[in-house]
Structure 1
Amino acid sequence: MNLIKDAINTAIDIIRQGGIIVYPTETFLGLGGNGLELSVVQRIQALKKRPAHKPLPLIIGGLGQLEEICYLTPFSLELARDFWPGPLSILFRAKEIIPFGVKDAAGMVSVRLTPHPVARQLCTFSGYPLIATSANLSGKPPCTLCSDLDPEVLEKVDFVLDVPPEPTGELPSTLVRMLGGKEIEILRHGVISEGELSQKGYKVVRKA
């Protein structure tokens, strides 16, 4: 147990120092660091060979962090509280503190409150939302085991946090955009199904 605690504390220190780490999430292994630091964003984009026009998603440890980084509406808070913590990523309007590369050209940012206990600790105790892109090169499959990480990823990160519980690896988080009222659009299908959204009273709109 002390070894796990020490590893988590090391990861938190590296995040605070502007480094990047591999860490477990509820879906796949994540590649991340301080989501408010432009140099971290740029380093992760370069490591993954990720196109600059594809923004990086964030995870948070609590709703307090959400209020610090996003402009919220009663509807967006309702949606978050209905499914968080959980694998539902929601597009919010980003505050000015969010760098480009995390927010998109329209000023939106993808955020989820992770249910993974270790990932939540990293956000909470580092004091930052974390970039939460999958720990693979762009175009390669994501992985759940550190032993399956690409050598190129291993060479360029500052720390690999290999602690339980392991990611499930079944599906990515579901990504949604709020359209108004209780209408939403699914931008990426994942763990949270359309049926689960409908059961909570949300109308899924398919745009032409």
Structure 2
Amino acid sequence: MLKEEINKALEVLKTGGIILYPTDTVWGLGCDATNVEAVAKVYALKNRADSKSLIILLDTDNKLQSYISEVPDIAYDLIEYSENPLTIIYSGAKNLASNLINEDGSIGIRIPKHDFCQQLIQRFRKPIVSTSANISGENTPANFSEINQKIIDGVDYVVDLEQESIEKKQPSTIMKLEPDGKFAFIRK
């Protein structure tokens, strides 16, 4: 089941499509984080201004330096020891779709502890976008049953895992980490 769903999601990502998928936090809208057209589709579906950047998921912190100019050493400890899902906003984003990167050159990255996400990203060999599965301005759905039908109808593939779960998941903690190691919490 897991392998089949990964294969189906991979095909959609490779062709520039959007997937609706479970993560370690809330359900996410995802696409190839290096594909400008795919990222534009996510913004359009969410009805969100592209000046508000989205976050990306990587399968391992070993890949951070591929997408960040200068990774502060403390980032690795923060990722390793964080008990809750943690999104870190880094300066100096690179090798990503231009419409994904914030105006100040930063990008939010999370390393999910979630089998489906881990295996999908590992097989895709590129980061994927992860943004909450809601129309901009609406509440973030805590589980699949709360997702707006417009979102479900607007994606190219809905991953058939965890849809029956009624567990109310929370968005990740967000922290901005400067190259010198200074940090500030954006969302706890």
Task: Name 1:172's counterpart in structure 2.
Answer: 171
Match for 1:184: what amino acid?
A: F
Cα separation, 2, equivalents of 1:168 and 1:93: 34
Cα pair 2:72 2:178 within 8 Å, conserved: no
Secondary structure, in 3 states, of the residue corresponding to 1:80?
helix
Cα pair 1:21 1:160 within 8 Å, conserved: yes
Cα separation, 2, equivalents of 1:170 and 1:147: 12
Task: Name 1:202's counterpart in structure 2.
Answer: none
Q: Return the index of the structure with the highest Cα Rg.
A: 1
Percent identity, aligned pairs only? 26
Task: Name 2:81's counterpart in structure 1.
Answer: 82
Deviations 1:138-177 (A, max 9, x none): 1112224434321211221000002139585342111111
What is the CA RMSD across the aligned residues, in angstroms? 2.2
Task: Name 2:137's counterpart in structure 1.
Answer: 139
Task: Name 1:53's counterpart in structure 2.
Answer: 51
Cα separation, 2, equivalents of 1:52 and 1:112: 20
Structure 1, gaps ≥5 residues long? 190-208
Structure 2, gaps ≥5 residues long? none
Match for 1:5: what amino acid?
A: K
Task: Name 1:22's counterpart in structure 2.
Answer: 20
Task: Name 2:95's counterpart in structure 1.
Answer: 97
Deviations 1:183-204 (A, max 9, x none): 4210112xxxxxxxxxxxxxxx
For these two proteins, the number of residue pairs brought into alignment is 186
Secondary structure, in 3 states, of the residue corresponding to 2:95?
coil
Cα separation, 2, equivalents of 1:121 and 1:157: 21
Structure 1 ranges of 4+ moved more than 6 A:
none
Cα pair 2:143 2:169 within 8 Å, conserved: no
Normalising by structure 2, we get a TM-score of: 0.88
Deviations 1:59-108 (A, max 9, x none): 11112332211121323333333338x51111112443122332111110
Q: Structure 1 81/57 Cα, relative in aligned 2: closer, same or farther at 3 Å?
A: same
Secondary structure, in 3 states, of the residue corresponding to 1:177?
strand
State the Cα distance separating 1:6 from its structure 2 match: 1.2
**Higher relative contact order, chain-length normalized (CA < 8 Å, sep 6+):** 2
Question: Structure 1 residue aligned with 2:104, among 103, 106, 109?
Answer: 106
Cα separation, 2, equivalents of 1:114 and 1:167: 20
Q: Structure 1 126/188 Cα, relative in aligned 2: closer, same or farther at 3 Å?
A: same
